[in-house]
Amino acid sequence: MTNNSRGARAWLRRVAGLVRKEFLQIRRDPSSYLIAGLLPLLLLFIFGFGVTLDLRRVPIGFVIEQSTPEANSLLDSFRNSKYFKVQIDRNRQQPEEDLVAGKLKGVVVLAADFSERLGRGETAPVQILVDGSDPNTAGLVMNYAQGVWSNWLEQEALSQADLAAGRNLAPPVYVEQRFWFNPDIRSQNFLIPGSIAIIMSLIGTLLTALVVAREWERGTIEALMTTPVGVSEFLLGKLIPYFLMGMFAMCIAASTAVFMFDVPFRGSIPALLIVSSAFLYAMLPLGLVISTLTKNQFAASQTALIAAFLPAFELSGFIFEIDTMPLAIRLITYLLPARYFVAILQTLFLAGDVLSVLVPGTLALLAFGTALLAVLVRNTRMRLE
């Protein structure tokens, strides 16, 4: 019994010693600071400012073949819209060239007989051309242009009162939209929490990917083997310091999102801390696995980029919808910790502590981390072969 507790105390002392050694090394090596402190900030700024799907004054052309009061009032509606920057033309040639060149994203065309047809009580078509080479913008331009047009139609109905002429201006069935959690439809509100998940995938993996590879490269791992340190002490000695570094990076990223980019945070801080810990529990062993397998800093950092960053960026649902992907790729996404973390962070920031998202996601992360740790314990041998 006493023997056992003495053994446990010695074990604990060895872990504490290794953790302290790792912290000293972190303090003396600027590259860890850079990865945990500067890299998340830099990436979050690029993602935060650079990646946004909100149309912000899209350049469109507006062709009025014949100037009439009706045509001009529709033009004014487009000019007053906060989504469009309007360039006016008399004929279609110039704006069509600009559409090919990519200078305009869409063209609204009112034919010469637009007002005449309106006046005669016929259906007057409004033609909208959009540039399909960017499908997302094309879809949004179509939706917004349609919105401007239907508002204009309602206003015309109110102001002209030519309902008396027997014409139907209001459709019998109409749509009312409510966007929950994000009523202003600001894309940054969900892109920034998602990008935190991607940045943390990279940082979590990169932090640990480099360290074991470094020990192998410098031969210090052989020095460790001559000591009583076993596999469990070695792994804990690596995981604890980098876990703390990772949580530090997470705090920086989350507070930047809230205070710099005005993303609301509707969840609770304990929930955020718990899921971030679960995520790091999954990502840090991944880095260790990579560096144990490659035993070389260069290959480790490169594998970390390919194995952590690219899939997190492309397959986590952060910007590209997972439901749209073919089945085979959808199945792969279930193996990505980032997939769960993106969904959890978007929910925590925008919706609150929704247990039906948080609990399954956290359990998946814990399972992923435990499986990796099992692989690690099997593959880490404290002896030369």
Partner 1 sequence: MWQRIRTLIIKELLAIWRDPHSRLILIIPPTIQMLVFSFAATQEVKNVRMAVFNQDLGTAARDLVARFDGSPNFTYIEHLGSEQEIAAAIDSRNVIMVVHIQSAFSRKVAQGVPAPVQLILDGRRSNAAQIVAGYAGDIVNRYAMELLDPRHSAPLASVVVTRIWFNPNLEGTWNSVPALVAILTTLMGLVLTSLSVARERELGTFEQLLVSPLSPGEIILGKTLPSLLIGIGEATLMILVGVIAFRVPLHGSLLLLYAAMVVYLFAVIGVGLFVSSLAKTQQQAILGGFVFMVPAMLLSGFASPIENMPDWLQWATLANPIRYFIVIVKGIFLKDLPASIVFQNIWPMAVIGCVTLSCATWLFKHRVE
Contact positions with partner 1 (CB under 8 A) in 9-48: 43, 46-47
Q: Hey, which residues between 285 and 304 contact partner 1 (CB under 8 A)? A: 297-299, 301-302
Residue 93 in contact with partner 1, rule: CB under 8 A = no
Residue 49 in contact with partner 1, rule: CB under 8 A = yes
Residue 371 in contact with partner 1, rule: CB under 8 A = no
Residue 149 in contact with partner 1, rule: CB under 8 A = yes
Residue 310 in contact with partner 1, rule: CB under 8 A = yes
Nearer to partner 1 by Cβ, of 22 and 131: the residue is 131
Q: Which amino acid is at 315?
A: L
Residue 268 in contact with partner 1, rule: CB under 8 A = no
User: Which of 305, 366, 375, 382 is the binder for partner 1 (CB under 8 A)?
Assistant: 305
Contact 275, 344 (CB under 8 A): yes
Q: Hey, which residues between 348 and 367 contact partner 1 (CB under 8 A)? A: 350-351, 354, 356-357
Q: Edge-to-edge strands of the sheet including 106-110?
A: 84-89, 58-64, 106-110
240 exposed, middle or buried (CB, 10 Å; 0-12, 13-18, 19+)?
middle
The two three-digit tokens of residue 70, written as one number: 């009706």
The two three-digit tokens of residue 378, written as one number: 């099997």
Q: Residue 58, by phi and psi: left (phi above 0), alpha (psi -120 to 50) or beta?
A: beta
Residue 1 in contact with partner 1, rule: CB under 8 A = no
- Tell me which stretch binds partner 1 (CB under 8 A): 152-160, 232-240, 247-255, 268-276: 152-160
- Tell me which stretch binds partner 1 (CB under 8 A): 86-94, 246-254, 277-285, 310-318: 310-318
Residue 143 in contact with partner 1, rule: CB under 8 A = yes
Residue 190 in contact with partner 1, rule: CB under 8 A = yes
Nearer to partner 1 by Cβ, of 159 and 226: the residue is 159
CB under 8 Å to 41, separation ≥6 — which residues?
Answer: 252, 253, 256
Contact 285, 370 (CB under 8 A): no
Pairing between β-strand 84-89 and β-strand 106-110 as defined by DSSP bridges: unpaired
Nearer to partner 1 by Cβ, of 203 and 236: the residue is 203
Residue 81 in contact with partner 1, rule: CB under 8 A = no
User: Which of 19, 71, 99, 336 is the binder for partner 1 (CB under 8 A)?
Assistant: 99
103 to 142: interface string for partner 1, x by CB under 8 A: --x------------x--xxxxxxxxxxxxxxxxxxxx-x
User: Which of 59, 89, 92, 231 is the binder for partner 1 (CB under 8 A)?
Assistant: 59
What gap in Å lies between CA 127 and CA 106, rounded to an integer? 10
295 exposed, middle or buried (CB, 10 Å; 0-12, 13-18, 19+)?
middle
3-state SS string for 307-347: HHHHHHHHHCCCCCCCCCCCHHHHHHHCCCHHHHHHHHHHH
How many chain residues touch partner 1 (CB under 8 A)?
100
Distances, alpha carbon 173 to alpha carbons 105, 124, 142, 144, in Å = 30, 21, 20, 19
Nearer to partner 1 by Cβ, of 323 and 385: the residue is 323
Q: Hey, which residues between 159 and 188 contact partner 1 (CB under 8 A)? A: 165-183, 185-187
